[in-house]
Amino acid sequence: MTSTVNHGAQYRSTKVRRQRVKAAWLFLAPMLVVLTLVAGWPLVRTFYFSFTDASLSDLSNIFFIGLENYLVRDDGQWYGVLADPVWWRSVWNTFFFAIVSVSLEVVFGVIVALILNAEFKGRTLVRAAVLIPWAIPTIVSAQMWAWMLNDQFGIINELLMTLGIIADPIAWTADASYSMWAVIMVDVWKTTPFVALLALAAMQMLPKDCYEAAEVDGIHPVRVFFRVTLPLITPALMVAVIFRLLDALRVFDVIYVLTSNSTSTMSMSIYARQQLVEFQDVGYGSAASTLLFLIIALATIAYLYLGRKQLNLGGDA
């Protein structure tokens, strides 16, 4: 009798679960259709153009050329995106920018979140003020920093010379020694509040009894942070990192506004845009865009795999 009741309950539970899954797919179907039309179709078209000799000057006569836009050997020389040193320089620039900027944003974001999580007078006003850089459109903030970093009339050089830190103005966005770091600084200023917001939201949900017990035991606050706070907010930080990593790997606007097509800071997106728009080579530019998509997809999958593995190890510990 008992086994019959348990079997009936299990059957009802399975039936309810199937109905929920069916309802979920029903609600998701319209969004998936729209997403396929908005994102899927352009992606397929880009992938198709990458195997052709399409050009903006004449899109009526398109011929299939296989992998020639990616890599081809002719008269003992290699040609194509994968044989272009400028492409590999843009790949290096993109990953350097992404790793350094996202790492700094996580560090500064957590520090800002810790400050905003403390109790002090005017905390609400400070929280609102911290979000201002993130609220400003990227193009606007990049142009604003371009003016401030200008070597002729920029306020940054004026301030540093007044303080005696530098003797002569520095071309922050034109000098290859400083341009990448100038771009990273602007991006960190712009997007650190986003990481801080997610970290602060995670801190607000942490159980208070852990901190009360640590305070009673006399544990140093730094040790409490690394042993209690950081492990508990790691899932939220992983979400922040994946969003920022996706943005950083396909970065275009902030670099283009500050340094245009400079090889020292050129990202993969700027390289693809240059081939498509300035050189009007749709096939070659589409090949670069396809490689950009594949690199971002592989980097995201690798990050999610390693992050999930790390979380599983932390849970087992």
By the 8 A CB rule, do 170 and 151 touch?
A: yes
- Count of CB atoms situated within 10 Å of the CB of 103: 13
Provide DSSP, 137-168. Answer: -HHHHHHHHHHHT-TTT-HHHHHHHHTTS-SS
Per-residue pLDDT for 172 more than 80? Answer: yes
Domain identity same for 112 and 237: yes
Least confident of 36-40, 192-196, 227-231, 299-303: 36-40
Residue 151 and residue 6 share a domain: no
How much is the pLDDT for 40? 81
The helix/strand/coil state of 195 is helix
The answer to the question of residue 52 being in a domain is no
Q: In which domain, by residue range, is 111 found?
A: 79-316
CATH (domain of 89)? 1.10.3720.10
Mean pLDDT value of segment 216-232: 81
The answer on 86 and 38 residing in a single domain is: no
pLDDT of residue 7: 58
More confident call, 114 vs 15: 114
pLDDT in tens, 17-45: 888 888 888 888 888 888 888 878 888 89
244, 184: one domain: yes
The residue type of 102 is V
11 pLDDT higher than 60: no
- Average pLDDT on 102-110 reads 95
- Are residue 113 and residue 5 in the same domain, yes or no? no
> Long-range contacts: 86-89, Cβ < 8 Å, 24+?
86/263, 86/266, 86/271, 87/268, 87/271, 87/288, 87/291, 89/263, 89/266
Q: How far apart are CA 27 and CA 21, in angstroms?
A: 10
User: SS3 helix, strand, coil % of the chain, rounded to 5?
Assistant: 75, 5, 25
pLDDT for 74 equals 81
In the block, tokens 């843009």 appear at 90
Task: Say what the pLDDT of residue 290 is.
Answer: 94
Q: Is 76 left (phi over 0), alpha (psi -120 to 50) or beta?
A: left
Instruction: Tell me the HSE value of 86 on the side-chain side, using a 13 A CA sphere.
Output: 14
193 with 242, same domain: the answer is yes
Number of domains forming the structure of the chain: 2
pTM: 0.86
Does residue 127 fall inside a structural domain? yes
Say if residues 258 and 142 touch (Cβ distance below 8 Å): yes
pLDDT at residue 6 is higher than 80: no
Q: Please, which residues have CB within 8 angstroms of residue 67's CB and are 6 or more apart in sequence?
A: 51, 80
Q: How far is residue 268's CA from residue 266's CA, in Å, rounded to a whole number? A: 7
Decide if 169 is inside a domain: yes
Any domain includes 264:
yes
Same domain, 43 and 87: no
DSSP for residue 251 = -
The reply to whether 138 and 261 lie within a common domain is yes
pLDDT in tens, 247-291: 999 999 999 999 988 999 999 999 999 999 899 899 999 999 999
- pLDDT tens digits, 177-216: 999 999 999 999 999 999 999 999 999 888 877 777 777 7
- Residue 225: pLDDT band (50, 70, 90) is confident
Q: Where is pLDDT greater, at 309 or 99?
A: 99
What is the pLDDT, as a whole number, of residue 96? Answer: 96
The structure tokens listed for 314 are 């932390």
- Structure tokens that stand for 66 in this block: 């296989």
| % of residues, the chain, pLDDT over 90 | 45
Q: What is the pLDDT of residue 105?
A: 95
Residues 229 and 163 occupy one common structural domain: yes
